[in-house]
Amino acid sequence: MYNFLLVLLSTVLCALPSSAIEGLTRQSFSTEPFSTDGRWMTNADGVNLTYAGANWPGHGETMVPEGLQYLSVAEMVQKIKSTGMNAIRLTYAVQMIDDILDKRSDGQLGTSFVAALGETNGTKVLNAVLDKNKAFTKETTRLEVFDAIALECARQGIYVHLDNHVSKAGWCCKTDDGNAWFGDEFFSTKNWERALAFMADHLTGLDVQGKTWPSFVSMALRNELRPASGLRNVPVNWDTWYGNMTAGAEAIHRANPDLLIFFSGLYYDTQLRPIFYDGGFRDIDFDPSKLAYKDKIVLEVHDYDLDETNCTNKRTKLTRDSFAALGPISPKVKTVYPLVMSEWGFSQSPDQYAAPFAACLGQFLPEQRAGWMIWVLTGSYYIREGEQGKDEPWGLLDSTGTKWRCAECITKGIMPMIQNTLGIETPVANA
């Protein structure tokens, strides 16, 4: 694996002029590690960092980030960059790490696609991926694909936020999928903590700063915790949440004390109040001052409540349940944290970006100066819920994976939102 990464890194750096290489190492990444200061994620120079990005799924049955049969890694990252976004939320499954550490699978692309899609279709998709990504071979591993994405993101100035989406690879999220709650059928907390530590530690190694992933600055604990329909002996409450989430955070922090750590809440990551709110919850006392990583904690929230068409009501609910964490301190808000809406989205059609849900969040999130990642970058899945090549209407890219599904949604909806969030001049997006 290291030989592959050294070749890849050499290819990336040799493609840049010396001034760009100096800028890559000296300007873009010299300010790590990041920490938190009240409601802000901040770098070593005290400059605040706000994410405006997209989700790039890599947690499906192939355990390979989606869309690489249509665009190369560099082309995909350029698509992100062309909008003005500065981050991706890259998702993965614990199963990928289990396969490595338990030696259950070689994790090579050749076997991964065939295992998930069958001999005929798996070989077809594999060949398309290899055709678009000349640095890959059928022996390239899934983790090396993640490495290639991270290195390309560094080259193009895109931050990588790593998200543990599921334990067993596959579509998320249901109460009966075995990935829902601590101790669920596939959700071994031991393996989960092991995977968190493995990925946090994995970025040591190869570039001039001693990192495999130069722009990797934050890592999430778990996506959309929720009740598990078949689990009766582990209560779904904040006490269970606290014990497991702090153990997971400690695993990350021990492996890599530089990383920001994202804490999701309960009920599909829609409820965060007990973490920051002094509202009489009796089964949790989340006091960051007692934690070794007290200046690394970021909260994350999701919103898919498309049925709420009254923006005033949505603002009130979001503020009450999550965004009050941004402060200021009050008799009820006991601690202030940075907050990122790491999932939200809408069907990419011209009538939807101006509809109440998207329009409201398009105003609310920039006003809060809160980070966000939209679901989802890619326009289809290698396989989703048994259907191969399944189209994703919410994908920013279309089903061919090469152009924007709704150019108007990008130029009139997403890009102005990026500009207002980051305070930058909006670029001209690639078609």
pLDDT tens profile 385-404: 999 999 999 999 999 999 99
Residue 149 confidence (pLDDT): 96
- What percentage of residues in the chain have a pLDDT greater than 90? 80
Q: What pLDDT does residue 28 have?
A: 38
pLDDT single digits (tens) 230-282: 898 999 999 999 999 999 999 999 999 999 999 999 999 999 999 998 865 66
Residue 163 one-letter amino acid: D
Number of residues that make up the chain? 431
Residue 233: predicted pLDDT = 92
Cis bond leading into 409, ω under 30°? no
Model confidence at 120, pLDDT cuts 50, 70, 90, reads: very high
Q: Is the pLDDT of residue 46 over 50?
A: yes
Check residue 428 and give its pLDDT.
60
pTM to 2 decimals?
A: 0.92
The residues, ordered by sequence, that sit 6+ positions from 30 with a Cβ below 8 Å of its Cβ are none
370-391: b or e for each residue (b if 16 or more CB lie within 10 Å)? bbbbbbbbbbbbbbbeeebeee
What pLDDT band is residue 7 in, cutting at 50, 70 and 90?
A: very low
pLDDT score of 142 more than 60: yes
pLDDT at 213: 84
Q: Mean pLDDT across the stretch 311-318?
A: 97
Taking only the tens place, the pLDDT of each residue in 356-387 is 999 999 999 999 999 999 999 999 999 999 99
Structure tokens at 342: 């790491």
How many other C-beta atoms can be found within 10 angstroms of the C-beta atom of residue 168? 18
Q: Which of 139-143, 155-159, 193-197 has the lowest mean pLDDT?
A: 155-159
